[in-house]
């Protein structure tokens, strides 16, 4: 398993954003699996231990939880992260319950509203800007990645339908 | 509106009239209805485009009506005295005016257009979710806007109106529900489908704001199956209908659909089976409901159901359970906050009742022509997860009646 110190620090930072007891549990799990860290060259050759898979899952679900809260307009979390996704009282989920009709499995594709070949992150920013009248966020920001994680997780099990309009 | 747009709309109206037609014979499941040719048609009616212009509405306010013709035997129609209209406005979801001016603008526009109708409607039904978070400021704003309606108004509550103070402000401003009245041969009934939720708040000592916050999210899973009439109201409904002739028209207003569409979003009432059992022996029942913010039509047994528009915003269709009899609306443009929304007009005349979706945005096709233009699931393997954040809640629901 390849988790270097930088990645672990990053994981801790993201967990702090998410807060809650899950973060403490995750730190403990990471400490247990630290002994399994190996060189980058063997990153994809090692068989995974159940504890490692649990870490991967927890890291992902931490982001899903953050994305879920942002998607549903959590004002406190937006303030913590220094972002403002809406200035109309609208949240993403008000038009997209369960992230319905975001269709992350279809991107990237041509988006008529933007008249361009767009990624899911481009489309997310368009919604923040237009219907929500919020402030667009960096496409590589933690908030954007969390929103993306939530939308993808919400559609888990759907067939990849690349380019579908 | 340009000449080109006008011409295109008229052309589309005629063409759509041929293409969007669904007919269902009574033999398919409408026991007890003897009227010949029982059918339901959906079409874009070119004449009403001209009727709108004749009514003196400005070009900017013209709409392309979507008509839902519902055959309803009309008891007093033979005498020629029973033709009338009523309007429906709902799901305005008002925030305080300094938070969101769009919703205020749209609610006011509905009121202005209804007031401009000539001849006027007999009454207006306000179908719930006047407010977004049940805040007295929001409900007072709604009252101030809706007080401008010049004809009689009737109100039923939505969940957004209720769960901050458990309906106190709503009832103070808009009155109690359920209620009933008879009008020109039709028995009208207004139901409360929102105020009987199983207690999801006490076990975790939620504040009123937290209780309301969970309720305000359509896709929340903390509140559980909050929509329902409850035993006492079902008994009231049965008693209220007891003296009404079985074949005479009954119109029921409710915030939620009276059938099971998509329970995770409470697009239902949990006691729909019991309610439909009460209604089963009445052959001419139509339910108009809000909450779903989309074009919907369904028939179950003798019960017809029509989903009405919101003024605030349209919901996407649920991932499953869209009634087969629904011709879906075209996906709204999220960049145009007047798209996919509006109000509704019902006309009782010539032994029929016509329902019109008064959508605000003129467009080539209100009904979708292709699956790609709707939010109805076109990918048969699309799946959706319920909210992850809600899974952190560890309370338990109490029993339900």
What confidence tens digit (pLDDT) does each residue in A108-156 have? Answer: 999 988 999 999 999 999 999 999 999 999 999 999 999 999 999 999 9
pLDDT grade, residue B32 (50/70/90)? very low
Q: In what side-by-side order are the strands of the sheet with B186-190?
A: B179-183, B186-190, B250-254, B285-289, B303-307, B296-300
Considering only CB atoms, which chain B residues are within 8 Å of A93? 217-219
**pLDDT of res. B137:** 98
Cα B35–chain centre separation: 26
Taking 90 as the threshold, does the pLDDT of residue B114 lie above it?
Answer: yes
pLDDT band at B373 (very low <50, low <70, confident <90, very high): confident
Question: How do residues B279-308 score in pLDDT, each as one tens digit?
Answer: 999 999 999 999 999 999 999 988 999 999
> Is B140 a residue whose pLDDT tops 70?
yes
Range in B168-172, B230-234, B243-247, B327-331 with the lowest mean pLDDT: B327-331
Q: Do B384 and A154 touch (CB under 8 A)?
A: yes
Here the tokens at position B196 are: 């009987």
- Judged by CB atoms closer than 8 Å, whether chains meet at A100 and B331 is answered as no
| Binary contact (B379, A161; C-beta < 8 A) | yes
Q: What is the DSSP letter of B131?
A: B
Cβ contact, residue pair A158, B381, below 8 Å: yes
The residues, ordered by sequence, that sit 6+ positions from B289 with a Cβ below 8 Å of its Cβ are B127, B253, B254, B255, B256, B257, B258, B305, B306, B307, B308
Say yes or no for a CB contact (<8 Å) between B392 and A164. Answer: no
Residues of chain B with C-beta less than 8 angstroms from the C-beta of A71:
none
Nearest-Cα distance to chain A for B379, in Å, is 8
| A97/B315 CB distance under 8 A | yes
- Measured distance CA(B190)–CA(A153) in Å, rounded: 40
Look at residue A125 in the predicted model and tell me its pLDDT.
Answer: 98
In Å, how far is A95's CA from the nearest CA of chain B? 6
**Residue predicted with more confidence, B160 or B368:** B160
Band (pLDDT 50/70/90 cuts) for residue A104 is very high
pTM value surpassing 0.90: no
How many CB atoms within 10 Å of residue B314? 23
- Coil vs helix vs strand at B269: coil
Angstroms from A103 CA to nearest CA on chain B: 9
């Amino acid at each position: 398993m390849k988790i270097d110190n930088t990645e672990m620090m990053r994981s801790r930072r993201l967990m702090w954003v998410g807060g809650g007891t899950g973060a403490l549990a995750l730190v403990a799990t990471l400490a247990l699996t630290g002994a399994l860290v190996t060189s980058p060259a063997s990153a994809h050759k090692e068989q995974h231990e159940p504890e490692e898979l649990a870490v991967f899952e927890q890291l992902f679900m931490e982001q899903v939880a953050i994305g879920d809260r942002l998607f549903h307009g959590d004002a406190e979390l937006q303030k913590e992260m220094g972002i403002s996704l809406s200035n109309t009282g609208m949240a993403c989920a008000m038009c997209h319950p369960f992230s319905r009709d975001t269709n992350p499995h279809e991107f990237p594709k041509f988006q008529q509203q933007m008249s361009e070949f767009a990624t899911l992150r481009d489309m997310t920013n368009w919604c923040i800007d237009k219907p929500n009248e919020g402030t667009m966020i960096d496409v590589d920001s933690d908030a954007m990645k969390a929103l993306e994680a939530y939308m993808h997780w919400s559609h888990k099990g759907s067939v990849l339908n690349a380019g579908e309009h | 509106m340009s000449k080109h747009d006008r011409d295109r709309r008229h052309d589309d109206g005629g063409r759509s009239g041929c293409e969007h037609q669904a007919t269902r014979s009574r033999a398919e499941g409408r026991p007890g209805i003897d009227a010949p040719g029982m059918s339901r048609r959906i079409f874009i009616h070119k004449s009403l485009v001209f009727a709108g212009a004749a009514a003196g509405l400005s070009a900017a306010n013209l709409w392309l009506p979507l008509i839902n013709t519902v055959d309803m035997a009309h008891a007093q129609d033979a005498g020629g005295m029973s033709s009338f209209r009523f309007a429906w406005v709902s799901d305005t979801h008002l925030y305080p005016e300094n938070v969101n001016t769009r919703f205020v603008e749209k609610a006011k526009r509905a009121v202005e257009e209804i007031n401009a109708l000539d001849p006027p409607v007999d009454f207006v039904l306000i179908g719930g979710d006047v407010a977004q978070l049940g805040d007295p400021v929001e409900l007072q704003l709604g009252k101030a806007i809706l007080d401008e309606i010049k004809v009689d108004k009737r109100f039923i509550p939505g969940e957004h109106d209720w769960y901050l103070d458990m309906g106190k402000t709503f009832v103070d401003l808009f009155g109690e529900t359920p209620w009933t009245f008879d009008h020109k041969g039709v028995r009208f009934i207004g139901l409360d489908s929102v105020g009987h939720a199983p207690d999801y708040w006490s076990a975790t000592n939620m504040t009123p704001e937290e209780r309301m916050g969970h309720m305000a999210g359509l896709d929340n899973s903390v509140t559980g199956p909050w929509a329902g009439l409850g035993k006492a109201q079902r008994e009231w409904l049965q008693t209220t209908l007891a003296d009404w002739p079985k074949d005479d028209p009954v119109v029921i207003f409710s915030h939620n659909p009276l059938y099971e569409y998509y329970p995770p979003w409470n697009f239902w009432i949990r006691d729909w089976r019991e309610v439909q059992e009460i209604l089963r022996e009445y052959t001419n029942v139509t339910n108009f409901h809000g909450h779903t913010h989309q074009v919907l039509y369904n028939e179950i047994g003798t019960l017809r159901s029509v989903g009405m528009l919101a003024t605030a915003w349209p919901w996407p269709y649920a991932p499953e359970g869209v009634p087969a009899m629904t011709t879906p609306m075209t996906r709204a443009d999220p960049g145009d906050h007047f798209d996919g929304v509006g109000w509704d007009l019902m006309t009782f005349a010539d032994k029929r009742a016509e329902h019109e979706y008064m959508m605000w945005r003129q467009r080539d096709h209100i009904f979708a022509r292709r699956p790609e233009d709707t939010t109805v699931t076109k990918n048969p393997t699309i799946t959706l997860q319920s909210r992850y954040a809600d899974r952190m809640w560890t309370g338990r629901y109490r029993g339900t009646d």
